[in-house]
């Protein structure tokens, strides 16, 4: 050959083929090491198979080139011509294998990513499961301690509620939707006067006024609550109380009304005191009017009585004219007695006050009236305080007070009964209680009994001034008088039939200037 020498090129081809075989198998070895290190890694698996294909291809192609060079330079070209198609076929087949491995990589990579994504999800789920398992383990370890703490907290909370429920002086109650009491504290039982188990009591039946009940139920169902609603309740023992209610409706999980819970404050005493204050104001006004009327009437009555008595001297006692004048005299004197009572009621009559003993005053009245009371089957029960302090008062007027009270008590006990008279000291006051076992005073007239000319007796049997005069005398002595009907037995807190008048008189009174002059 006359051209460029081929030895260098042949040498490079021969050595390059050998190096290609060496490096392809070296890469295969590293790929195998990576696969053994992470068998589940898709990339390393792909590289391993790719290196196998490349190693086979390099081996086939490199050996083919080396064999060709050896046969050509050893003058065996004919043999190479026979082997060349076979070598080319192997090379083509191995190149197809390399291409197939590369194509498989794209498909496999997509599948690998999907599997990897699911694997990550599974890993996260396993992580959460492990965390939950740790928490559950921790909870299980401290479960007993946590239960003990929660039980202790619930017990303390229940104890606080129970103490409030049982020790509250107000009524605390729970009812179902029909009004049946499901629970109520002791204060409620005592204040409402239950004489049967509370489970047998319907709260709605305690309402004295049906209109109050309708307004109570309407507010609960419409608004879900009712606040500061004053009602009058009548307990199962017939005791009447004024209650200030605040209640909330109770609903189930579906929003249906199933009952209520509420608190009631006893306003009976405040209501009575308010009525007494109103009554005192009214009586003061009536007293002023009565004083003016009495003074205006007293003068003409005196003139009529004087002329009547003068005219009686001009007629014979058996004559008709004398009899008519006698009737006029008697009726005029009756009018003057009424006027005198009006003056006593209005505290305008003269009063001579001295230091007196109430027990002695009552004893003097009983000395005169007890016989008559016993004839009418009325027994007197004395409960006198032996060391009762004296009060400053008008003995004659106080006599009249107790005569009026004993007469009213007798009138209320047609078939007989008992009058309990109690005296005792309360601080700087003396308390006198006159209690009977009569029919009692209805609630609707209780605030009218001290009004002048108000009476429940038949016409001709009373003027209606007895309690009015009594009220005026007690006020004139700086005291006060109240009425209780029915009466609460202090020993058993149960109400009993009858009426009790309570009179408070100060043990020390400030005398007026007129009283000092008399003394």
Q: What is the pLDDT along the chain (519 residues), one digit of tens a residue?
A: 444 566 676 677 677 777 877 887 888 788 788 878 877 776 777 777 777 777 777 777 777 767 777 776 777 766 666 666 766 666 676 666 666 666 666 556 666 666 777 777 888 888 888 888 877 777 777 777 777 778 777 777 777 767 777 777 788 888 998 888 888 888 788 777 776 777 778 888 888 888 888 898 888 888 888 888 888 887 766 677 888 889 999 988 888 888 898 888 888 777 777 766 666 666 566 656 666 666 667 778 777 878 788 888 888 878 888 888 888 888 887 777 766 666 655 554 456 788 899 999 998 888 878 888 888 899 999 999 888 999 998 888 888 889 888 888 888 888 889 999 999 998 889 999 999 998 888 777 777 777 765 555 554 444 456 677 788 888 888 898 888 888 877 665 667 788 899 999 998 644 444 444 443
How many other β-carbons are positioned within 10 Å of the β-carbon of residue 149?
Answer: 11
Q: How many CA atoms lie within 13 A of 252 on its CB side?
A: 6
Phi, psi of 40 (to 5 degrees): -90, 0
Peptide bond into 140 cis (omega under 30): no
Nearest to 431 by CA among 351, 510, 507: 507
- Taking the alpha carbons of 128, 129, 132, 138 in that order, is the dihedral positive or negative? negative
Question: Strand 417-426's sheet: what is its strand order?
Answer: 378-383, 417-426, 429-436, 499-506, 480-484
Alpha-carbon distance values, 35 to 23, 51, 291, 358 (Å): 18, 12, 127, 121
H/E stretch holding 363? helix 358-375
The whole-angstrom separation of Cα 76 and Cα 314 is 200
Partners of 181 in the beta sheet?
175
Q: Is the pTM of this model over 0.85?
A: no
Contacts of 421 (CB under 8 A, 6+ apart): 362, 380, 381, 382, 383, 384, 432, 433, 434, 435
On whether the CB atoms of residues 468 and 440 are closer than 8 A, the answer is: no
Q: What is the dihedral of CA 51, 55, 57, 61, to 10 degrees?
A: 150
How many other β-carbons are positioned within 10 Å of the β-carbon of residue 332?
Answer: 20
Query: What pLDDT, on a 0 to 100 scale, did the predictor assign at position 391?
Result: 92
The whole-angstrom separation of Cα 388 and Cα 507 is 9
On whether the CB atoms of residues 391 and 476 are closer than 8 A, the answer is: no
The whole-angstrom separation of Cα 252 and Cα 275 is 43
The whole-angstrom separation of Cα 510 and Cα 74 is 161
Query: What pLDDT, on a 0 to 100 scale, did the predictor assign at position 389?
Result: 92
Query: What pLDDT, on a 0 to 100 scale, did the predictor assign at position 358?
Result: 92
The whole-angstrom separation of Cα 297 and Cα 509 is 33
The whole-angstrom separation of Cα 493 and Cα 167 is 18
Beta pairing, strands 391-393 & 240-251: unpaired
* 3-state class (DSSP) for residue 227: strand
On whether the CB atoms of residues 234 and 213 are closer than 8 A, the answer is: no
């Amino acid at each position: 050959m006359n051209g460029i020498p081929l030895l260098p090129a042949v040498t490079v081809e021969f050595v390059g083929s050998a190096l290609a075989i060496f490096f392809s198998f070296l890469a295969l070895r590293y790929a195998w090491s990576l696969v053994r290190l992470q068998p589940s890694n898709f990339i390393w698996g792909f590289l391993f198979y790719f290196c196998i294909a490349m190693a086979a291809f390099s081996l086939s192609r490199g050996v083919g080139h080396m064999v060709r060079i050896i046969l050509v330079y050893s003058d065996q070209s004919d043999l190479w011509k026979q082997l060349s198609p076979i070598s080319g076929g192997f090379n083509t087949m191995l190149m197809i294998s390399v291409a197939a491995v590369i194509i498989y990589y794209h498909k496999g990579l997509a599948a690998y990513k999907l599997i990897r994504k699911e694997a990550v999800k599974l890993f996260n789920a396993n992580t959460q499961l492990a965390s939950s398992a740790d928490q559950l383990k921790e909870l299980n370890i401290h479960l007993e301690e946590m239960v003990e703490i929660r039980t202790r907290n619930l017990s303390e909370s229940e104890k606080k509620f129970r103490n409030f429920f049982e020790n509250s002086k107000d009524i605390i109650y729970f009812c179902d939707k029909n009004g049946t009491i499901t629970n109520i504290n002791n204060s409620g039982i005592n204040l409402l006067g239950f004489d049967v188990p509370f489970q047998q009591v319907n709260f709605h039946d305690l309402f004295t006024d049906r209109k109050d009940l309708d307004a109570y139920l309407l507010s609960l169902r419409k608004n879900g609550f009712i606040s500061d609603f004053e009602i009058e309740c009548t307990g199962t023992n017939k005791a009447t109380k004024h209650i200030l209610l605040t209640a909330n409706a109770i609903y189930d999980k579906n929003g249906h009304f199933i009952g209520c819970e509420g608190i009631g404050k006893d306003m009976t005493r405040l209501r009575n005191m308010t009525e007494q204050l109103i009554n005192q104001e009214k009586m003061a006004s009536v007293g002023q009017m009565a004083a003016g009327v009495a003074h205006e009437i007293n003068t003409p009555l005196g003139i009529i009585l004087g002329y009547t008595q003068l005219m009686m001297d001009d007629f014979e006692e058996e004559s008709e004219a004398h009899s008519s004048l006698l009737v006029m005299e008697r009726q005029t004197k009756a009018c003057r007695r009424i006027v005198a009572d009006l003056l006593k009621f209005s505290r305008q009559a003269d009063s001579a006050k001295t230091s007196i003993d109430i027990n002695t005053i009552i004893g003097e009245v009983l000395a005169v009236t007890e016989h008559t009371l016993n004839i009418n089957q009325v027994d007197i029960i004395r409960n006198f305080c032996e060391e009762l302090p004296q009060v400053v008062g008008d003995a004659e007027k106080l006599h009249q007070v107790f005569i009026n009270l004993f007469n009213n008590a007798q009138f209320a006990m047609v078939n007989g009964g008992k009058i309990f008279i109690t005296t005792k000291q309360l601080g700087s006051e003396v308390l006198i209680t006159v209690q009977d076992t009569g029919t009692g005073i209805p609630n609707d007239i209780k605030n009218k009994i001290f009004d002048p000319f108000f009476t429940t007796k038949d016409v001709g049997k009373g003027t209606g001034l007895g309690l009015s005069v009594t009220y005026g005398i007690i006020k004139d002595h700086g005291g006060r008088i109240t009425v209780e009907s029915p009466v609460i037995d202090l020993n058993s807190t149960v109400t009993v039939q009858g009426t009790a008048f309570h009179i408070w008189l100060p043990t020390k009174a400030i005398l007026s200037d007129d009283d000092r002059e008399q003394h």
